[in-house]
Structure 1
C-alpha cells in the first residue's frame, strides 16, 4: 500500500525494448510463494502454472465444466459415473476418467494413473500442507484400470461429482521420493521450489525454464506437448507489485500486456483506457472475485458480533464504489456474486448507518475516549490492525477511506502492507494477522465455501496449516448448510440452501464484505485469442490459442 519505489522497480521502468513477436512479456502484481500446485492458494501461482500445467477438469470461459487432461467428462448419462451404495444408507459416486493419450510431462514421461494415485496420497495426508484437501479426503480409493484410466470412489454424491479441478497432478517419478521420505516436511522439500526448472514437473504447453525469486518466471514450449502448438517461443511473467510501476512498464515496453487476473485495479485501468485506448485494448470482465476483509475471530475485540456489525455499518461502500470505481464495483452483501445463478438478490442490505454503528459500539462497551477513539472499561483503545498487499493502488485507497470512515465512529485503524508472497505464503495461511486482512477470493461458479467457512478447515500447526478458514469461523449451522448443499442434486432446493448460506454469512460476519470486482485485461492490439473467464480457472489454460497478428 505505501510501498517505496525501490531500486529494482526503478530499473524495471527503463527495461529493455519489447520482446520479439514470437515472445510475450506479461505483467502481474504478485510473485508466487510456491510453485507446488497443491500447496497454498495464491492466485499468482495458479496464473503462472496455468501456462505449464493442466488440471484434469476445469471450467471454461462459458462457465461449463470440461475435460482438459481427460478424454471424456464422466456423467450419469454416458455411464462413466455411477451411484454407489455405502454403509448407513449413504450414497457415493464412482467416476471413471481416462487421461489423454498424448499427455506428457516435459521430460518425455507419460502422465499416468500412477501420478493420479500419488497426488491423491499427498493430498489426503494430514501433514502434507495441501490447501484444498477436502476432495482428496472424500476419495476413499482409486481403482486403476490401466496406465491412463482410473475410477475415483468418492464417499459423497455431490451436485458437482465430476468436477475434480482440485486434484492437481504431481509427477510421481520426481515428487515421490521427496514426499515419502518425510511427509510433514514435503511443503519445504518439493522440487517445485527446490528444482523449479526440472522439465518433469510440467505437463502443459509450456514449461518453466528460469525463476528469479520476486522478479520473474520464464516459460518455453514443452516439446512433448501433444495439443495445439503454442505460438510463442518464450513467455516472461514479471511480478511488479506496485501498480503504478506496472503501468509504466507497459508504456515503456518492459511488458507487452497486463493480466486481468492479477493486474491493474479497475479505477486505474479506466483511467489508462482514457489515455491510451488507441494503443491498447482494455477488456473489462465482471468476475467472481470477492474483495473482503477476513477477520481474525480469535481477537477478543472482533469476537463480538456487535463490533463486527458496527464496523460494516460504519463503511459507506456505495460512495466508495461510486467515487473510486465509477460505480463499477458492485457492493457485496455476502460472499456469492450476482453473476452466479445461486446469488440471493433478496438479502437485506447493510447500508451505511454511522448512528447505528455508534450505538452498537456503545452496547459492546466501547465508549468515546480521548482523541475521539473509543475505549473499554479497562481503558484499552479500540484500535485495529489491517494488513494487505503492498503496492496495490486500489487497496491503498480503500484502506485509507476505511481508516477515515471508522475514525468518525471512534475506531482507530492502523495500516500495514506486506509483499503478496509473504501475506499469502505465511501471514494469512498461519493466521498471524491480529485483526484484519484485506484481499480477494477468486472462486469457481457455484463454489461451495467448505475450505473457507467450515469449522474443520481452520489452519493450525496440527494440520500443517491446511485449509483456508483463516478467520477461525466455527458455526454448527454453517457446517450443516455446507454439508447439505453439496449433496443436494435438486437445483431449486440447492438454491434455497445457498440463500441460507448467504443469509447466515451476512448475519454472522466472519468477514466484512466489500465489493465484487471486475478484471481489466490490458492487451496489445495485435494479441489475439485471449478470452477472459471471470473465475478462478484463468485464461492461460488456453494459451495455445494466443497469437500475434
Structure 2
C-alpha cells in the first residue's frame, strides 16, 4: 500500500509540474528549444563549485581555450591552433632549480569577444590564473593553477603559459577564463569574499560574462534560465532564437513534461537513466530520438574519513562487500551500466584489469565488522562501547534513481547490522554547501565526470582536501591522505611514456581499491531524449557537455 501511495503521489506531482509548464507556452514555439535537466547550479561562477548543471548551461554561453570533443580528441575552442611540441608552440625549458618545465603558447581567436563587446584577451587569462592561485578565492583544483609559474603576455591575443613540469596532457588548457574588465575590481576588493560578490552571483545576466553563442537573458534561481543569441559571438550563428533550460528535479516529472510538450528534450547529462529512457522508448519511441552514449561518469559514495566509524578501513570494506551492486545495475538499469570497481573507466586506455574487487559477500562483511569491534548485536544493530553502528547517507533530493539506490543499500547494510539514516538535500545545497565544505556526516552519493585523458588528482591528492583555511578549495571530499597515492598521481602526470604511465595508473587503481576512500557504484551512460526535428546533436560521454557544440544544432523541415 505504501508503494502504491508513493507512486500515486509521484504521478500527481509529475502532472502538476507538467501542467504548470504548459502554461508557459515554451516548448515547440518558433525558434525556441526547451531543455529539461534535473539540477540547478548553486553558483554561475565557472571556477567555483564543480557542478554539471552549471557546466551544461555554460556550454551554451562560454567557451574554454581547449576542450575534448565528441570524438574524445583535444580541439581548440577559443584558440586558433592546439600547441604541441611538434608544431613548436610548446617547448621544454629548464627551470631555475634544474627541473624541466614547459612553455606553451596559445593564440586566441582574433574575433573572440565577451557579450558586451569587450575583446577576450590575454589579460582575461592572466586574471583567471591569479584568481585560481589565490588561497582564499574558493576555487577548487588549485594545483592546476599553482603549476603555472608565469603567464607571459605577448599581446592582446597571444600568451605563453610557463608550467613547472611536463605532463602528458600539457596542452589541455580547459580552465575557464574570467572577464577581467568586470571581475578584477570585485576580486581585488576582498578575495575571501569574492565567491559571494562576483558578478556571476550578483548579475548573472550581465552580457559581459559570456563569450559563447548564447548569453543568459533571464534566470529564476532553482527553476529555469533563458538564453538568447550573443550578438558578439564570433563563430557560426546558433539556430534557435531562444533556449530555455528548465530544472525539474523529479524523473517522473521530466517525462511528463516531455510527453505533454512542455519541454522539447531531456539532457542525457542530467536527466533519465538508461533504463528509464529505454522504458520511455518502448512507450513513445516514435515521438523522439534516443541517443545512448557510454560515458566517463562515475557514480559513487564518498566516505567522510573524518567520521570515527569510517576511519576504520575494515568498516569501509565491509560496506562494500555488503552492497550488492550487480543486483542494483541489473534491476535498475537492465545491466546497461556496468558496476564500477574504481575511478578509471573500462573505456579508458589506462584502465587496469588486475584490480581487487568487492563482490557481494555479506558473510565477509560480517567478519570484517566483527574484526573492527562492532560485534555487540542489539535488536539487529551492531554496537561498540555502547554506541550503535549508525551512519548518515546523503544525496540529491528528488533524484528517483539515487533514492532507489539509497534505499536498496540501506536494506543491504541493515542485513549485516549497520543502521543507515537517509538525509537528502536539494542539489544546489548538497553540492554548493554540504559536499563543498565537507559538512556531510558519513556518506555522500553523487557522480564525478572526467575527461578522456584525466588523472583524478583533485579528488585523491591530499593537497586538495577542502578546509576553512583554504576557503574550501579542493575536491578531495573524503579527506583522503596517502603519501604513496600523492606520489603516484604526480608521477602519472609527468610520465610521457605511455606504457610506464599505464603501469603507474594500475598501481594507483590497486591502492584505491585497498584504501577504498569511496565506494564505487557504477559507470553511467548518457541517455539523451531529443525531438525528432533536432539536427547536428552529438553526445560526448565525458565532462565536456554536448552544449559546447550548440551552434551545430538545428531544426529539420517544417514543424
What TM-score range do you get, normalising by the shorter chain? Answer: over 0.9
Partner of 2:458: 451
Once the two structures are superposed, residues 343-397 of structure 1 have per-residue CA deviations (whole angstroms, 9 ceiling, x without a partner) of: 0122232111111110000000001422211111x21111111000111111111
Residue 413 (str. 1) matches residue 420 (str. 2):
yes
Query: Which whole-Å CA distance do the structure 1 matches of 2:103 and 2:460 have between them?
Result: 27
Aligned residue in 2 for 1:83: 92
Aligned counterpart in structure 1 of residue 246 of structure 2, from 238, 241, 256? 238
CA contact under 8 A between 1:132 and 1:466: conserved in structure 2? yes
Find runs of 4+ consecutive structure 1 residues off by over 6 angstroms.
2-9
Alpha-carbon separation, structure 2, partners of 1:356 and 1:272: 39
CA distance, structure 2, for counterparts of residue 302 and residue 533 of structure 1: 36
Report if aligned partners of 2:298, 2:343 keep a CA contact under 8 Å in 1. Answer: yes
1:50-199 alignment runs, 5 A limit:
50-166=59-175, 168-199=176-207
3-state DSSP class of the match of 2:452? coil
Aligned residues of 1:58 and 1:68 also touching (Cα < 8 A): yes
Contact 1:265 1:393 in 2 (8 A): no
Shift of 1:282: 1.5
User: Which residue of structure 2 aligns with residue 15 of structure 1?
Assistant: 21
C-alpha distance in 1, partners of 2:445/2:523? 13
Q: How does 1:207-246 map to 2 (within 5 A)?
A: 207-246=215-254
> Match of 2:268, SS?
coil
Aligned residue among 27, 34, 46 for 1:37: 46
Per-residue deviation, 1:10: 2.5
Contact 1:205 1:225 (C-alpha < 8 Å) held by counterparts: yes
Q: Distance in 2 between matches of 1:83 and 1:499?
A: 28
- Shift in Å at residue 19 of structure 1? 3.2
Superposition RMSD in Å: 1.4
The CA distance in 2 between the partners of 1:56 and 1:37, in whole Å, is 14
Label 1:245 to 1:11 Cα distance change in 2 as closer, same or farther (>3 A). Answer: closer
Counterpart of 1:325 in structure 2 is 333
5-14 vs 454-463, which deviates more?
Answer: 5-14
Q: How does 1:303-314 map to 2 (within 5 A)?
A: 303-314=311-322
CA contact 2:227–2:242 (8 Å) conserved in 1: yes
Task: Give matches, 1:241-256, under 5 Å.
Answer: 241-256=249-264
User: Any idea what SS the aligned residue of 1:51 has?
Assistant: helix
Shift of 1:8: 10
The DSSP-based 3-state class of the residue aligned with 2:463 is helix
- Preserved CA contact (<8 Å) 1:135 1:164: no
Please list every run of 5 or more consecutive structure 2 residues that lacks an aligned counterpart in the other structure: 1-5
Say whether 1:434 aligns with 2:403.
no
Q: What is the rounded CA distance, in whole Å, between the counterparts of 2:15 and 2:103 in structure 1? A: 52
Q: Is the 8 A contact 1:15 1:253 kept in 2?
A: no
Q: Are residue 544 (structure 1) and residue 551 (structure 2) matched?
A: yes
1:497 to 501, 504, 518: 504
Q: Does structure 1 residue 482 correspond to structure 2 residue 489? A: yes
Pair 1:344-2:352 in alignment? yes
How far does residue 11 in structure 1 lie from its aligned partner after superposition? Answer: 4.2
Does the CA contact (< 8 Å) of 2:325 and 2:521 recur in 1? yes
Match of 1:334 among 335, 342, 347: 342
Structure 1 residue 7: Cα displacement = 7.8
CA distance in 1, matches of 2:381, 2:158: 64
TM-score, length-scaled by structure 2: 0.96
Aligned length: 546
1:269 matched to 2:277? The reply is yes
Contact 1:317 1:514 survives alignment (8 Å)? yes
Structure 2 equivalent of residue 461 of structure 1: 468
Choose the corresponding residue for 1:472, options 461, 479, 504: 479
| Structure 1 unaligned blocks of 5 or more | none
Q: Secondary structure at the match of 1:48?
A: helix
- What is the distance in 2 between the residues matched to 1:329 and 1:545? 29
Work out whether 1:373 is the aligned partner of 2:381: yes
1:243 Cα deviation (Å)? 1.2
Q: Distance in 1 between matches of 2:55 and 2:163?
A: 25
C-alpha distance in 1, partners of 2:173/2:378?
55
Quote the offset at 1:12 in angstroms. 4.0
Deviations 1:449-497 (A, max 9, x none): 1111000100011111000000000000100000100100000000000
Aligned partners of 1:257 and 1:13: how far apart in 2? 17
Pairwise CA distance, 1:323: 1.4
